[in-house]
């Protein structure tokens, strides 16, 4: 079965901006952009996917911006380029939504640490100033968090839902008073082993799971779109998406 456009969008333009795929694209998080574009198109929007690389000006006119996972050196390059560009901050100030995954999540926080470097601490880490879009700080954790993660999220309709994904991060993230947890962990490490996963402030969402996370969790995808467009998303009937979600939930519970 396939869904026909619901007509909600009526051809309105909606822009999804994939940020620095060459730096923040090693875990398949580009799939989040594909998911959002498809879910927009299924609802009758004119979905535009813009790919922006370092050196290109980041448009501040997008509706939702996506940052993915990357290694230490790429993470530093990305945060420096985004700070110098300023487009992401202007977009958020305008009301655009951001979904930042793993390294992207750390980048949009206040600070994060990487191994070694000229200003390394006695523990061998260097603190890097983040973009400050989320009130979170990240330092190196005692053990690397690797494996399936299952968490509970109070969804966009106020109903509790399960979120699944695959976490793979050495950084442990602590939330400040200006951010709220995205979800509560049932299986896995999440932010720092404190029972929380991800962070939310306004239209900015940070999370650790890959998968890509929006392919596994369509309700979260629609929540990001609602943050971006400022309106509820109409229901979609996609049996293949429902089946993927059922399989992943069953796998992580085994």
Residue 58 exposure: Cα atoms within 13 Å on the Cβ side? 28
Q: How confident is residue 4, by pLDDT bands cut at 50, 70 and 90?
A: low
In this prediction, residues 214-238 reach a mean pLDDT of 95
CATH of domain 13-253: 3.40.50.880
Among positive and negative, which fits the CA dihedral 122, 126, 131, 134?
A: negative
Q: How is 154-213 classified by DSSP, letter by letter?
A: E-TTS-EEEEEEEEEEEEEEEE-TT-B-SEEEEES-TTTSSSEE-EEETTEEEE--BS-H
pTM of the model: 0.93
pLDDT number for residue 189: 98
Mean pLDDT on 52-59: 96
Whether the Cβ atoms of residue 199 and residue 17 lie closer than 8 Å to each other? no
223 is catalytic: no
For residue 235, how far is the Cα from the chain centroid?
22
What does the angle CA 125 – CA 127 – CA 133 come to, to the nearest 5 degrees?
140
- Asked whether the predicted pLDDT for residue 250 surpasses 90, the reply is no
Question: Which entry of 89, 169, 192, 210 is annotated as an active-site residue?
Answer: 210
pLDDT digits (tens, 9 = 90+) for 56-103: 999 999 999 999 999 999 999 999 999 999 999 999 999 999 999 999
- In contact, 52 and 19? CB cutoff 8 Å: yes
Q: What's the pLDDT at 217?
A: 94
Measured distance CA(44)–CA(68) in Å, rounded: 27
Q: What is the arithmetic mean of pLDDT over 127-137?
A: 97
Give the single-character DSSP code of 228: H
First CA to last CA distance, the chain = 29
pLDDT averaged over the chain? 93
Which structure tokens are listed for 149? 């993660």
Give pLDDT, residue 24.
Answer: 97
For the cut 50, the answer to whether the pLDDT of residue 119 exceeds it is no
Cα separation, 163 vs 184, in Å, equals 10
pLDDT value of position 251: 85
Catalytic residue among 89, 102, 192, 223: 102
197-212 pLDDT, tens digit per residue, is 999 999 999 999 999 9
Residue 192 annotated among the catalytic residues of the structure: no
């Amino acid at each position: 079965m396939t869904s026909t456009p619901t007509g909600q969008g009526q051809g309105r333009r909606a822009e999804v901006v994939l940020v620095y795929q060459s730096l923040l694209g090693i875990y398949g998080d580009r799939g989040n952009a594909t998911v959002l574009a498809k879910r927009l198109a299924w609802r009758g929007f004119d979905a535009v996917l813009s790919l922006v690389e370092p050196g290109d000006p980041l448009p501040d006119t997008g509706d939702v911006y996506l940052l993915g996972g990357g290694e230490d050196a790429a993470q530093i390059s990305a945060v420096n380029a985004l700070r110098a560009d300023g487009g992401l901050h202007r977009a958020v100030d305008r009301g655009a939504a951001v979904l930042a995954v793993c390294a992207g999540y750390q980048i949009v926080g206040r600070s994060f640490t990487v191994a070694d470097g000229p200003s390394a601490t006695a523990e061998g880490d260097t603190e890097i100033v983040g973009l400050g879009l989320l009130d979170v700080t990240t330092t190196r954790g005692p053990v690397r968090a690797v494996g399936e993660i299952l968490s509970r999220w109070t969804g966009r309709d106020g109903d509790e839902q399960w979120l699944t994904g695959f976490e793979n991060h050495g950084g442990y993230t602590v939330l400040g008073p200006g951010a709220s947890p995205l979800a509560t962990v049932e299986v896995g490490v999440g932010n720092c082993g404190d029972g929380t996963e991800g962070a939310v402030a306004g239209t900015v969402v940070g999370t650790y799971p890959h998968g890509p996370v929006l392919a596994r969790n369509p309700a979260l995808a629609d929540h990001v779109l609602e943050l971006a467009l400022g309106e509820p998303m109409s229901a979609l009937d996609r049996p293949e998406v429902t089946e993927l979600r059922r399989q992943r939930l069953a796998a992580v519970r085994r």
